[in-house]
Amino acid sequence: QASQEELKAAYRRLCMLYHPDKHRDPELKSQAERLFNLVHQAYEVLSDPQTRAIYDIYGRRGLEMEGWEVVERKRTPAEIREEFERLQREREERRLQQRTNPKGTISVGIDATDLFDRYDEEYEDVPGSSFPQIEINKMHISQSIEAPLTATDTAILSGNLSTQNGNGGGSINLALRRVTSAKGWGELEFGAGDLQGPLFGLKIFRNLTPRCFITTNCALQFSSRGVRPGLTTVLARNLDKNTMGYLQWRWGIQSAMNTSIVRDTKTSHFTLALQLGIPHSFMMVSYQHKFQDEDQTRVKGSLKAGFFGTIVEYGAERKISRHSILGATVSVGVPQGVSLKIKLNRASQTYFFPVHLTDQLLPSAVFYATVGPLVIYFAMHRLIIKPYLRAQKERELEKQRESTASDILQKKQEAEAAVRLMQESVRRIIEAEEARMGLIVVNAWYGKFVNDNSRKNEKVKVIDVTVPLQCLVKDSKLILTEASKAGLPGFYDPCVGEEKSLKVLYQFRGVLHQVMSADNEALRIPKQ
């Protein structure tokens, strides 16, 4: 965003610093020529609106293409950006053709009621009866993939298998979706299964207004009992920036009317729902609080009451790695009893483990369902997850260091040469600042600092940048913009991929001050 005047001022300043005629020593003169040429090349690119636009978008590769193969030379910066966006859209379309977007769910139901509902008299004569029997009583697996056919048409293939207490079945579905306009799409669905006959469905989505949309789903299910039609319609509206209202009407199998309000903000998620239907009518309230931490921790609670009974649920979820989220929910209900539900989301795959603990409301079951997962999680987090993530981060950093080693070495050599060339200018700046009791940089370091006791085993990686910072002082002021300081003259990156800061000890009006600034944070000293 620098203006032409700012570019010219910076260019003149660096030319005065690196001009070869200002240095008599042959080695310094050679280093000055190299840096002077780099500055000149940069100014030539950035002072021309066309080459500057190409560099902003494509980097050096765009400038080095022979015959300006990227775009026509006569185009304006705005046209160059339009061309880039067009090429980007084409790349996205090609990437879309290759993407299948797989999604899957694996659910394993566990019956652990023998832990709490055990009747000893039934097991007195059974061998091995001293150990509770824990069984897997149901399983469900579903998977789907998407295959883009054109920019507007997509085929979706999905299937599922389920088994419970020795009985099971499965089905397979094929859906063809077409985006008809920016306002809507339609979908045709065909399915078949071993427990149910063929299924034909039609789904339509339409934006009625910018704040309101409708979805209609019609289905015909063929079975040995005849044809069973079904119709579901959902009308939704934005009530405000963060709140949606839904009205749903379902006719056919399990007919019902449902209305719900969902409010989703940066720190919370609230849902209120009411359903009147056959066989289930209920009211449900749920609330989720989102903590603003790097692990994206969330705690939630809900109350659901209806003809089937009452259920209270509470739980939490947390990000345990870049692509994985682990969650646990305790469900307490009448007459359902107590259950623990553990869920792991890994990218687009979901693994779900509902554990049924007891058919009764036992305080001991509620206690162990609540405390047990917490103890296991914190133990695993400390002994397994944290060491694994630390080792993974080290591997990534090492890989990044290896790939940038030659470039960093070159930057280091350029920075050291720049510091040697700055010595005479810095001497003059210090003399002028001392005469007016102005700003003198006593010491300055840039890189990775370790101030936290929990990180005391980590290695400090900093470089001395006293001379480069003093060289940037003008009229007793030092102003740095919001950008990585590794790009400043006389700087380089001493710890690639790690968090960096700038620490400055300076003297102003004869008084010592100290300031610490994050790498991308703007800095202006002296402070008011």
CATH number, position 113 = 2.40.160.40
* CA proximity to 519, closest of 528, 527, 496: 496
Indicate whether 489 and 425 sit together in one domain.
Answer: yes
Residue 147 lies in a domain: yes
Q: Is residue 318 part of a domain?
A: no
Between CA 145 and CA 156 the distance in angstroms is 6
- Count the helices and strands in the chain (H runs, E runs): 8, 23
Q: Is residue 237, in this structure, part of any structural domain at all? A: yes
What pLDDT is attached to residue 70?
47
CATH number at residue 36: 1.10.287.110
User: Do residues 107 and 243 share a domain?
Assistant: yes
Regarding whether 491 and 435 lie in a shared domain, the answer is yes
* Residue of 340, 350, 332 lying closest to 316 (CA atoms): 340
Q: What are phi and psi of 159, to 5 degrees?
A: -155, 160
In a shared domain, residues 35 and 110: no
Torsion on CA atoms 465, 466, 472, 475, rounded to nearest 10: 160
Alpha carbon distance 58, 47 (integer Å): 17
Question: Which of the listed residues 235, 254, 273 is the one where a domain comes to its end?
Answer: 254
- If DSSP codes are grouped into helix, strand and coil, which group holds residue 36? helix
pLDDT by 10s per residue, the chain, length 528: 788 898 998 898 888 888 888 877 888 888 888 888 989 999 999 988 878 887 877 777 767 654 444 455 556 666 776 776 777 677 666 665 556 678 899 999 999 988 887 654 455 555 555 677 888 989 999 999 988 888 889 999 999 999 988 888 899 999 999 999 889 999 999 999 887 789 999 999 999 998 999 999 999 988 878 888 999 999 999 999 999 999 999 998 789 999 999 999 999 999 999 999 887 899 999 999 999 888 889 999 999 999 888 999 999 999 888 788 999 999 999 888 999 999 999 888 999 999 999 988 889 999 999 999 999 989 988 898 888 888 888 888 888 878 788 888 888 888 888 888 888 888 989 999 999 899 999 999 999 887 765 555 567 789 999 999 998 888 889 988 888 888 888 898 888 888 899 999 999 998 999 999 998 888 999 877
The encoded tokens of residue 68 equal: 């300006």
Evaluate whether residue 181 is within a structural domain.
yes
* Structural domains of the chain, count: 3
Query: Residues 106, 175: one domain?
Result: yes
**Using CB atoms within 10 A of its CB, is residue 56 exposed (0-12), middle (13-18) or buried (19+)?**
middle
Do 225 and 110 share a structural domain?
yes
Residue 350: enclosing H or E segment and its boundaries? strand 349-358
| Angle CA 256–261–265, to nearest 5 | 145
- For residue 430, being part of any structural domain is answered with yes
pLDDT of residue 339: 95
Q: Are residues 419 and 474 in the same domain?
A: yes
Torsion 29-30-35-39 (CA) sign:
positive
Within 252-348, strands assigned E span: 256-264, 268-277, 282-290, 298-306, 309-319, 324-334, 337-346
**Within 13 Å, how many C-alpha atoms sit on residue 314's CB side?**
7
- For the chain, what is the largest distance between any 2 Cα atoms, rounded to a whole number of angstroms? 103
**Domain assignment present for 388:** no
Shared domain check, 152 and 19: no
Domain that holds residue 508: 407-525
- Please tell me whether residue 369 adopts helix, strand or coil conformation: helix
Q: Are strands 199-209 and 212-223 parallel, antiparallel or unpaired?
A: antiparallel
Amino acid making up residue 256: A
Which letter does DSSP use for residue 102 in this model? -
Residue 160 lies in a domain: yes
Is residue 36 domain-shared with residue 110, that is, in the same domain?
no
CA nearest neighbour of 500 among 491, 513, 511, 508: 491
Annotate 374-406 with DSSP letters as a single string: HHHHHHHIIIIIHHHHHHHHHHHHHHHHHHHHH
Of 229, 254, 279, the residue that ends a domain is: 254
Task: Note whether residue 248 is domain-resident.
Answer: yes
Same domain flag for 106 and 250:
yes
Last residue of a domain, one of 254, 272, 300: 254
Residues 215 and 139 in one domain: yes
Q: Is the dihedral of CA 435, 437, 441, 442 positive or negative?
A: positive
Contact 268, 298 (CB under 8 A): no
On whether both 43 and 105 belong to a single domain, the answer is no
pLDDT at position 356: 94
